[in-house]
Amino acid sequence: MSVEAAHAICDGIEAKLREAVEDVMITIHVEPEEKAKHNGIVVV
């Protein structure tokens, strides 16, 4: 997935979180597949 595509997904996630949670601080960090730690929800 391109950085642009990953960024678009992250923007969507952030927007939905802001709708659901007031005064939330959001940090999303995108990792390349070979460095990813899959101990959460994997979105592909």
d(CA 20, CA 31): 25
* Nearest alpha carbon to residue 44 among 17, 4, 6: 6
Residue with tokens 């994997």: 42
40 neighbors 31 (Cβ within 8 angstroms): no
DSSP letters for 3-14:
HHHHHHHHHHHH
pLDDT in tens, 1-44: 788 898 899 999 999 999 999 999 998 888 777 776 666 666 65
pLDDT at 33: 72
* Nearest alpha carbon to residue 6 among 37, 44, 34: 44
